[in-house]
A and B are shown apart, each in its own frame.
Chain A
């Protein structure tokens, strides 16, 4: 498998649930990103990991908790979400934190009920 793969593609969760989104990249990149894509809003960069260290956290609520165990995998742990957190969550990877050269996964469509 090549590129950036995200699982699951769709997720429905209640506000009291705990779930995790997974991202895997097969491109040999050393930086990974989480984005939130909501209707009528610009794409929001949530977190950036470089060499498995979190280097950017853009004022994201603590109910979103990222984890990067190695340079190929990135997780987003979710707990006690709100309905307004429903969105498409995109993962991306690049070499050397060059966001402008990132490759994107297909996204996880999250619905919080």
Chain B
């Protein structure tokens, strides 16, 4: 079975500071990993995904995440937070291959302070 754990339901950073949102997964098979963002009163938008190949994945809006198999982690980072980054962030995992069902984390709410 697969599962996702997002450490920290709320994270607060200052504008310009590093953003680090943590995601650990459990999977008995090679995973595909995803980060989604949900801005207030909006639907979910894919930020980035890891399927195969390079373990450092770059996404939209300056975010990136690194797949670390040995740590079963897929943490999301951004070097410098912007006020517009304030949103809910969701990590998700699916099985590699044809089974494309997503298993979702509970989400982390990111606040950016001026």
Q: Give me the interface of A with B, judged by CB distance under 8 Å.
A: 4, 6, 9, 40-43, 45, 90, 92, 97-101, 104-107
Q: Give me the interface of B with A, judged by CB distance under 8 Å.
A: 4, 32, 34, 41-45, 49, 90, 92, 94, 100-106
A106 touches B94 (CB 8 A): no
How distant is A109 from chain B, measured CB to nearest CB, in Å?
A: 8
Contacts known (A40-B106, A41-B106, A43-B90); A99 close to B43, Cβ less than 8 A: no
Indicate which residue in A40, A97, A101, A104 contacts B43 across the interface (CB closer than 8 Å): A104
Contacts known (A97-B100, A99-B94); A105 close to B106, Cβ less than 8 A: no
Chain A to chain B: the 10 pairs with minimum beta-carbon distance, closest first: A104-B43, A42-B104, A43-B104, A104-B44, A100-B100, A106-B43, A105-B43, A98-B100, A99-B100, A99-B102
Tell me which residues across on chain A come within 8 A of B92, comparing CB atoms: 100
Considering the chains assembled together, what is the distance between the CA atoms of A62 and B74 in angstroms?
37
How distant is B67 from chain A, measured CB to nearest CB, in Å?
A: 15
Tell me which residues across on chain A come within 8 A of B42, comparing CB atoms: 106-107
